[in-house]
Amino acid sequence: MQDLSNETMLHVKKGDIEYLQFRKLLEYQDKVEHCYTLKGQNNDYAKEEANNYTALYKVMNLDIEGFTKIEHQAHSDIVEVVRKKQEFHTNIDGLLTNKRGISLSLRFADCTPILFYAPLKNAIGNIHSGWRGTVQKIGQKAAIKMMQEYGVNKEDILCFLGPCIGKCHFEVGEDVKEIFENTFSYLGNSEKFIAKGEYKEEQKYFIDTTFINRKLLEEIGIPSSHIIESNICTVCNSEQMHSYRAEKEKAGRNTAIIGLK
């Protein structure tokens, strides 16, 4: 596998298990652990899930008993708080907690993972923001909920925008383009997040959801320097990570995990 490390991300290989981590978040690894899994023999969490997660958690020094996932991610703007181990959550797209020993796990195949960590309050979040979730501002709503729930100051939140479909590949038609344009026109020049494709027949557009999610977080006062992007497109790297746009129905899922030790 090609090393996907860059200025913000570290490609970790431990035996047969490979995953990505944010360099900035690793500065707090005495309190919090995280990863974004890649393809591979022991990275396919669609099969033998329990055994594979146990192996991953062992590598990451996390308690498998604290594993919390969303049974069905619904492309919504709903975020719930996890207060104890073994909770059941479904039909939502975000989890928050400040309980040690609990980890939050969501699955992705082009949608944007947004991880939160507030060091002073030791609170975390894991958000699934597809294009529908982005239009519903789920990342922004999750950050606001974290502030309200845990008394976190906006200046204390670190936000990590994980690997997702980039503007280079998020091609949409006029209908979706209009949704983004109408929803986010107040952000200013739409040319910053919507680009026209070159076609002789039907008009297509390319949308930058990472840019939009960044602006939504900045809008509520989170410092720009606290918003870290992975700069990795899942479609460009579909040989190493699952991408629905590249693989269609055959696509598996990448797992993003963040947990408090």
Task: Please tell me the distance from the alpha carbon of residue 212 to that of residue 189, in angstroms, as a whole number.
Answer: 12
pLDDT at 228: 98
| Residue 108: pLDDT over 90 | yes
State which CATH number among 3.40.50.80, 3.30.390.30, 3.65.10.10, 3.60.140.10 fits the domain covering 9-164+226-260.
3.60.140.10
pLDDT at 46: 45
State both tokens at 110: 């082009």
Mean pLDDT confidence for 45-59: 68
pLDDT greater at residue 84 or residue 1: 84
| Residue 32: pLDDT over 60 | yes
pLDDT digits (tens, 9 = 90+) for 172-193: 999 999 999 999 999 888 989 9
Question: Which residue is it, tokens 């109408």?
Answer: 182
* H or E segment and range at residue 45: none
State both tokens at 116: 């939160």
115, 258 contact by CB (below 8 A)? yes
Bridge partners for 37 per DSSP: 19
Burial environment of residue 78 by CB neighbours within 10 A (0 to 12, 13 to 18, 19 or more): middle
Bridge partners for 18 per DSSP: 13
